[in-house]
Amino acid sequence: MAGTYARVARVIETDLGHELVLLDPETQEMFSLNETGRCIWRTLPAGEAPLIAALVAAYDVSPAAAEADVRRLLTELLDAGLIEVRGDAAGG
Amino acid sequence: MPPVVEDLAFPILGRSFVGHGVPEPLRGWLLEQWWRPEQALPARRFAIGLEWTAAGSAPAPAQGEPVRALVPGGVLTWRSSGGQWEWRGGDATGVRLTLEPEQARIHVWGTSTRDAELFTALYVAICEALRASGLLPLHAAVAAPPAGTVAWPPAAAPYIPGDPAATAPAAMAFLGGREAGKSTTLLHLARAGWTPVAEDLCWIDPDARVLYGWDRGVRLRRAAIEAFFPELSGAPWVAEPDGKLLLHYDDLARHGQASGGPGGGERGAGEAARRGTLAGVTLLRRAAGGATGWEPLPPRDAVRALWEAVGVPLSAAARQTAAAWIGTVAARLPLYHLRLGKTPPGPPPPW
């Protein structure tokens, strides 16, 4: 997946400390992120490589595991309409 | 043609409100919805100005991004640009809200007859103005238990000398949508000695966590009164347009239910100020049968329920304020799920 991933501006974050709850006011859908998901969300806007690097730096995970986590979460966030892709691999 | 009242002025929780050129149907509605002399607060430096003009005086349509506001029975789509929001109900009616530091200006144009959608848009605009002044609405039933009957954790009921929360007793907010059981739960608890603060709507000062009850009584259907509260069947219930019956808090008190003011509040117009300090949150869920019981509520579920109770503001700044408050409440206060079965609720278990 290439491009820079960015939060959709209208999405509202509610921070519970260990967990981040995202609300899309258009759909009233909510999406809960655990600590690693929160780390990825906080790193946005970014391309896939910086997101993987952020996860590896913050947690004791292998690059391969981090890549799988990042790709899975990005897919879920895109499907939920909470993030969008901008440009073409601009964010690395 | 209805008479025009040139200036209508009263405070709303310490914020000044002034209406210019307000025709009578709207004047009555404004007083009914927003005038609560018993909830007097020290004056705050925030002014809400409302100007009503005739239907033919609509300004040029505002451009901007669409922002949807969920309202009972539908959605109102506003156009947002900078600090301005505009809703139009066709060519003849509309509401324009302009938020500035320490003031909100609301321009309403339309006919002088009662227009439900226009009044709803105006309600949204006034709510947004109050949000900009630092308050949050909370759709919840709220009640304060008798002293010593609920073991609140220290973080839920802090005592800070000089803090307004010190004068309002610890209270539980009961959340749930329409027909979730808020009114019935409130009356069950009043029967057990709890003091009602609100039945469906209150305003909250998010910093102090003080809740100001905004409704004037408890509303129930006659079938519920006869099934659960037969001792109140002879009380002076008043029929409401939606078929429910309203019992004013003072009349509730006269019929033996605990409903005096929670104490410490100011009084006006002979009515007690209903205030509480938010110390816990409970989400109501009806159950088909079995006993009523308390269970822990996961914080993420509380976040969803609190957003539904607070509503999503129009402005980004108010959204951030609401998100911060909801995050703090869900992370720090006791959270319960009250499963409403066939028995009345007892006090919540220790957190």
Q: Please, which pLDDT band fits residue B90 given cuts at 50, 70 and 90?
A: confident
> Which positions in chain B touch A14 (Cβ < 8 Å)?
303, 307, 323, 326-327, 330
pLDDT score of A1 more than 70: no
> Which positions in chain B touch A15 (Cβ < 8 Å)?
323-324, 327
> Which positions in chain A touch B327 (Cβ < 8 Å)?
14-17
Please give the pLDDT value at position B271.
57
pLDDT score of B351 more than 70: yes
CB contacts under 8 A, A 33-92 vs B, are: none
What residue of B is the nearest CA neighbor of A17?
B331
> If DSSP states are collapsed to H, E and C, what string results for chain B?
CCCEEEEEEEEECCEEEEEEEEEHHHHHHHHHHHCCHHHCCCCCCCEEEEEEECHHHCCCCCCCEEEEEEECCEEEEEEEECCEEEEECCCCCEEEEEEECCEEEEEEECCCCCCHHHHHHHHHHHHHHHHHCCCEEECCEEEECCCCCCCCCHHHCCCCCCCHHHHCCEEEEEECCCCCCHHHHHHHHHHCCCEEEECCCEEEECCCCEEEECCCEEEECHHHHHHHCHHHCCCCCEECCCCCEEEEHHHHHHCCCCCCCCCCCCEECCEECCEEEEEEEEEEEECCCCCCEEEECCHHHHHHHHHHHHCCCCCHHHHHHHHHHHHHHHHHCCEEEEEECCCCCCCCCCC
Kindly report, residue by residue over B112-121, the tens digit of the pLDDT: 677 889 999 9
Mean pLDDT for the stretch of residues B147-153: 87
Please give the pLDDT value at position B267.
33
Please give the pLDDT value at position B52.
92
Please give the pLDDT value at position B269.
36
Q: Please, which pLDDT band fits residue B266 given cuts at 50, 70 and 90?
A: very low
Mean pLDDT for the stretch of residues A52-57: 96
Q: Please, which pLDDT band fits residue B163 given cuts at 50, 70 and 90?
A: low
Mean pLDDT of chain A: 91
The shortest CB-CB distance from A14 to any of B68, B70, B327 is to: B327
- Minimal CA separation from A27 to chain B, in Å: 10
Kindly report, residue by residue over A6-48, the tens digit of the pLDDT: 999 999 999 998 899 999 988 888 999 999 999 999 999 999 9
| Interchain proximity A25–B312, CB inside 8 Å | yes
Please give the pLDDT value at position B327.
95
Mean pLDDT of chain B: 88
Please give the pLDDT value at position A89.
46
Please give the pLDDT value at position B309.
96
- Minimal CA separation from A43 to chain B, in Å: 19
pLDDT score of B207 more than 90: no
What residue of B is the nearest CA neighbor of A21?
B300
